[in-house]
Amino acid sequence: MRSFEPVRLVVAAVAVISTLGGMASALTAAEWRRQSIYQVMTDRFARSDLSTTARCDTSEQVYCGGTWRGLISKLDYIQGMGFTAVWISPVVKQVDGVTKDGSSYHGYWARDIWSLNPAFGTSADLAALSAALHARDMYLMVDVVTNHMAYVGCRSCVDYSIFGPFSSPSYFHPPCGIDYNSQSSVEVCWQGSDTVSLPDLRTEDENVRRIWNEWISNLVSTYQIDGIRIDSAKHVEASFYSGLNSAAGVFAIGEVYNGDPVYLAPYQRYIEGLLDYASVYWITRAFQSTSGSISGLVDGLAKLKNLAVDLSLYGSFLENHDLPRFPSLTRDTALAKNAIAFTMLKDGIPIIYQGQEQYYAGGNTPYNREALWLSGYSTTSELYTWIAKLNRIRTHAIAQYPTGYLSYGANIIYSDSRTVTMRKGTTGNQIIGVFTNAGASYSYLALTLSSSATGFTANQQLVDVMSCTALTTDSNGNVVVTLTGGIPRVIYPLARLSGSGICPSLGETTSTTLTTSTVSPTATPSPSCSFPTVSVTFNGQVRTVFGETVKIVGNTPSLGSWNTANAVPLDASSYSNSNPLWSGAVNIAPSTAIQYKFIKVSSLGAVTWEADPNHTYTVPCTAAATVSSSWQG
Catalytic residues: 231, 255
Q: Exposure of 1 by Cβ count < 10 A (0-12 exposed, 13-18 middle, 19+ buried)?
A: exposed
Buried b (16+ CB within 10 A) or exposed e, 587-622: ebbbbbbbbbbbbbbbeeebbbbbeeebbebebeee
Which contacts of 153-161 are long-range, i.e. CB under 8 A and separated by 24 or more positions?
153/194, 153/196, 153/197, 154/194, 154/197, 155/190, 155/192, 155/194, 155/197, 155/199, 158/197, 158/199, 160/199
Contact 185, 178 (CB under 8 A): yes
d(CA 312, CA 31): 11
Contact 284, 318 (CB under 8 A): yes
Omega prior to 488 cis, within 30 of 0? no
How many residues does the structure list for the chain?
Answer: 633
Q: Exposure of 528 by Cβ count < 10 A (0-12 exposed, 13-18 middle, 19+ buried)?
A: exposed
d(CA 85, CA 26): 13
> At CA 205, angle to CA 202 and CA 206, rounded to 5?
145
Helix (H, G, I), strand (E, B) or coil at 76: helix
Sequence-distant (6+) residues with CB within 8 A of 191 are 147, 148, 178, 198, 200, 232, 235
Q: 123-135 and 7-20 are packed helices; what angle lies between their axes, rounded to 10 degrees?
A: 20
Strands (E), 159-278: 191-192, 196-198, 227-230, 251-254, 273-275
d(CA 117, CA 63): 12
> At CA 115, angle to CA 110 and CA 117, rounded to 5?
65
What is the maximal distance between C-alpha atoms in the chain? Answer: 97
Q: Do β-strands 593-601 and 615-618 pair in parallel, antiparallel, or remain unpaired? A: antiparallel
Specify which residues 39 forms β-bridges with: 87, 353
d(CA 172, CA 341): 43
d(CA 257, CA 322): 10
